[in-house]
């Protein structure tokens, strides 16, 4: 039997006292993180309803799955009034972001997403919102690790009154060099979720660079894709 436990986020850095960046370490199959109501999620005051369906909401700061395999489960109640049409819309939205299996259990009022990050998600070579940017507007949810040593990144605002922050992601294919541009913004933090090189300088896994130039060439010398995260305002 797999012993389940909450996975822990390890502190990486407080970025100029603006953002708190954390990541998982040495996770095990069965480790999980759960909530019973929306108020328990990061910075819930900045959640936004989906533009066409109020039963779907946009996370203000989504967790980013950067390596391994995961299961995301969401439960609803009769009061949530989640319909098959809502699930159709939500599944279509999720599948524009990632390659995944979606399992509906209407009898037990839950929806399961099984996902493995392998660097082949739709439009992964262009900037996009992280998976989990959108969730059903329900209270109970769980993220579970389904493969040892899977990685999740998490960023929260230090200043809880600062609504300006945005997040985006992009993959660098295995053994490739890609130009990583900086959006038109005041501050931009670029996070490398595996070891990469800029010129001859090596940046270790989870290194964070305050990007000030319009573009940097980042080399991925790994045999697997590397997800690049940018937090900016």
The pLDDT score that the predictor gives to residue 32 is 92
Please report which confidence band the pLDDT of residue 51 belongs to, taking 50, 70 and 90 as the band edges.
confident
Answer for the pair 208, 169: CB distance below 8 angstroms, yes or no: no
Residue 102, beta-bridge partner list: 113
Q: Are strands 151-157 and 19-24 parallel, antiparallel or unpaired?
A: antiparallel
Contacts of 222 (CB under 8 A, 6+ apart): 174, 175, 194, 195
Q: Is the pLDDT of residue 1 over 60?
A: no
Average pLDDT, the chain: 89
Q: What is the mean pLDDT of residues 187-215?
A: 95
Phi, psi of 41 (to 5 degrees): -80, 160
Please name which of 56, 231, 77 lies closest in space to residue 132, comparing C-alpha atoms: 56
Phi, psi of 45 (to 5 degrees): -65, -20
Q: Which of 126-140, 149-163, 198-212 has the least mean pLDDT? A: 149-163
Q: Is the pLDDT of residue 4 over 50?
A: no
Question: For 151-184, how does the pLDDT look when each residue is reduced to its tens digit (9 = 90+)?
Answer: 999 887 877 677 788 899 999 999 999 999 999 9
* Domain locations along the chain: 9-151, 163-232
Q: 3-class secondary structure for 136-182?
A: ECCCEEEEEECCCCCEEEEEEECCCCCCCCEEEEEEECCCEEEEEEC
Please name which of 81, 54, 64, 77 lies closest in space to residue 168, comparing C-alpha atoms: 64
Q: What is the mean pLDDT of residues 109-127?
A: 94
CATH topology assigned to domain 163-232: Jelly Rolls (2.60.120)
The pLDDT score that the predictor gives to residue 202 is 97
């Amino acid at each position: 039997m797999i012993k389940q436990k909450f996975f822990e986020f390890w502190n990486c850095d407080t970025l100029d006292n603006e953002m708190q960046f954390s990541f998982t370490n040495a996770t095990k199959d069965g480790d999980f993180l759960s909530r019973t109501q929306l108020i328990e999620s990061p910075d819930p005051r900045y959640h936004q309803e989906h533009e066409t369906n109020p039963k779907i909401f946009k996370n203000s700061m989504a967790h980013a799955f950067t390596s391994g395999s995961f299961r995301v489960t969401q439960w609803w109640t009769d009061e949530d009034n989640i319909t098959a049409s809502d699930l159709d819309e939500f599944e279509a939205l999720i599948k524009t972001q990632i390659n995944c299996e979606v399992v509906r259990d209407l009898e037990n009022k839950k929806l399961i997403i099984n996902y493995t990050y392998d660097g082949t998600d739709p439009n992964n070579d262009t900037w996009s919102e992280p998976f989990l940017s959108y969730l059903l507007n329900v209270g109970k949810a769980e993220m579970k690790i389904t493969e040892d040593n899977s990685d999740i990144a998490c960023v929260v605002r230090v200043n809880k009154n600062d609504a300006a922050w945005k997040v985006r992601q992009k993959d660098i294919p295995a053994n490739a060099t890609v130009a990583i541009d900086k959006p038109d913004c005041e501050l931009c933090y670029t996070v490398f979720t595996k070891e990469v090189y800029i010129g001859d300088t090596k940046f270790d896994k989870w290194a964070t660079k305050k990007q000030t130039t319009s573009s940097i060439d980042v080399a991925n010398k790994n045999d697997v894709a590397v997800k690049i995260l940018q937090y900016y305002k």
